[in-house]
Structure 1
Amino acid sequence: MKIALLGYGRMGKVIERIALERGHEVVLRKTDVDTFKGLELADVAIDFSVPDAAVSNISTCMENDIPVISGTTGWLEDYPKMVKLCEEKKGAFIYGSNFSLGVNIFFELNAHLAKMMSNLGQYKISMEEIHHLQKLDAPSGTAISLANDIIKNSDYSSWAIENPKEDEIFIDAKREEGVPGTHSVFYTSAVDTIEIKHTAHNREGFALGAVVAAEWIIGKKGVFGMKDVLGL
């Protein structure tokens, strides 16, 4: 499989190493100043760039009939446009707020717990996410996905990172040196606290999941998620 890496920072370099270990070839390593030269050689593109570049990267892939995997967060106001473009071009697209296999299992646990707790109004829900200092968006896309799954299964209407209202989930977004990603969900009452937590030890899990998704999407058409890739 020939891969175009759209974004060649720390995450892109880990993806490259894992892709090469799995027998794939990298035909494009795009940084902020590079062109898309070499994209035409790719079987699939993996976008781990920055919010300002994501839409351009994804749409360029759609226009050139290249399946694209995107793990860039902070641009989701344009997600419906990318879905529409994918459908118009009969392309293939996977966006994931987190490609870690463990996190996607955590997503399922979070949604299931929210359903279990939906009638227990004595518990107040809050969240905490911790990432490295270089992460540009806050809260993380993973935290937003967790919050949205709780909202679907509870009386909460939204989330907030400061001054939450009664029907908003408070997300405490922290940035600390050297933290790949830690996400916690708390259910707190007067008598106890229930907590579920996922801690990433490095970027390997995110990178492996992205490469697995790229392998999976070859030959497919449509808009998918990691649930489809993992059969969850």
Structure 2
Amino acid sequence: MKIALLGYGKMGKTIERLALESGHSIVFKSWVESSEGNIEDAEVAIEFSSPEAAVSNIKKALEADLPIVSGTTGWLESYDEMVKLCEKRNGSFIYASNFSVGVNLFFSINEYAAKLMAQWKEYDVSVEETHHLEKKDAPSGTAITIAENILKYNSKKEWNLDSTSDEVLSITAKREEDVKGTHIVSYESNIDTISLKHEAHSREGFAKGAILAAEWLKDKKGVFSMKDVLGLTNAD
């Protein structure tokens, strides 16, 4: 598989290393205002850049008729626009707030737990996420996905950072040195606390999942999710 890397930071470099180890090739990579190689030679694009660059990178891939896998968070106000562009171009697009297989299994477990806990009103639910100091967006895209899946079944109206309102799902965002990503969902009552936790030990899980998604997407048309990639669409 010939890959274009749109964004060449820590994640891009990890994806490059693992892709090469798996027998794929990197034919194009771009970062800030520089690039190397020819995007026309690619069969699929993997995009991990910044919230400011994500939309232009996704447009670049779709307009080049490249299937695009995007893992950048913090730009989702433009998501519907990118979906429309993908449909207009008869393209291929997967966005995920987190490509880790473990995290996507966690998403499904979290959603099942939210459905199970819906009738037990004495439990107050909250979400906590911790990431490295360089992470620009807060809360994380993963935490937002977790919160939105809870809100499908919970009586709370919306999520917000550090909320104290009973009608709002509170997300706490922490930034600490060299934390790859930890997410905790807690259901707390006067009697006890039930917690679900996912802790990433390295970036490799995110990179492997993105490569897996690119392999899956390469010869398909449409807009998909990691649920499609992992066959979790019937797990709801």
TM-score (norm 2): 0.97
Listed as ranges, the matches of 1:135-154 within 5 Å are 135-154=135-154
For residues 37 and 86 of structure 2, the distance between their equivalents in structure 1, rounded to whole angstroms, comes to 21
Structure 2, unaligned stretches of length 5 or more?
none
- How do residues 27-106 of structure 1 correspond to structure 2 at under 5 angstroms? 27-35=27-35, 38-106=38-106
* Residue in 2 that maps onto 1:9: 9
C-alpha separation in 1, matches of 2:108 and 2:221: 25
Deviation at 1:152, TM superposition (A): 0.6
Deviations 1:167-221 (A, max 9, x none): 1111110000100000000000000000000000000100000000000001100
Contact (CA 8 Å) 2:28, 2:35: kept in 1 or not?
no
Per the TM alignment, residue 37 of structure 1 is displaced from its structure 2 partner at its CA by 5.7
1:199 aligns with 2:212: no
Question: Aligned pair 1:215/2:215, yes or no?
Answer: yes
Gaps of 5+ in 1: none
* CA distance in structure 2 between the partners assigned to 1:37 and 1:55 by the alignment: 21
- How many Å separate the matches in 2 of 1:164 and 1:70? 33
Q: Deviations over 1:55-100 (max 9, x none)?
A: 0000111111000000000000000000000000000000000000
Q: Which residue in 2 is equivalent to 1:22? A: 22
After superposition, the CA RMSD in angstroms is 1.0
Whole-Å separation in 2 of the counterparts to 1:221 and 1:36: 27
What's the CA shift string for 1:120-164, capped at 9, x where partnerless? Answer: 110001111000001010000000000000001111211111334
| Secondary structure, aligned partner of 2:109 | helix
Larger mean CA deviation between 105-114 and 149-158 belongs to: 149-158
Q: Which amino acid aligns with 1:78?
A: S
Structure 1 SS opposite 2:84? helix
Q: Is the 8 A contact 2:47 2:68 kept in 1?
A: yes
Task: Give 3-state SS (helix, strand or coil) of 1:169's partner.
Answer: strand
Higher alpha-carbon deviation: 109-118 or 160-169 = 160-169
- Mapped to 2, the partners of 1:169 and 1:198 lie a distance apart of 19
Q: Is the 8 A contact 2:163 2:171 kept in 1?
A: no
- For the residues of structure 2 that align with 1:133 and 1:88, how far apart are their CA atoms? 38
What is the TM-score of this pair, normalised by structure 1? 0.98
% identical aligned pairs? 57
Letter in 1 for 2:8: Y
Runs of 4 or more off by more than 3 Å in structure 1?
A: none
Code of the residue aligned with 1:106 in structure 2: it is F
Amino acid aligned to 2:127: M
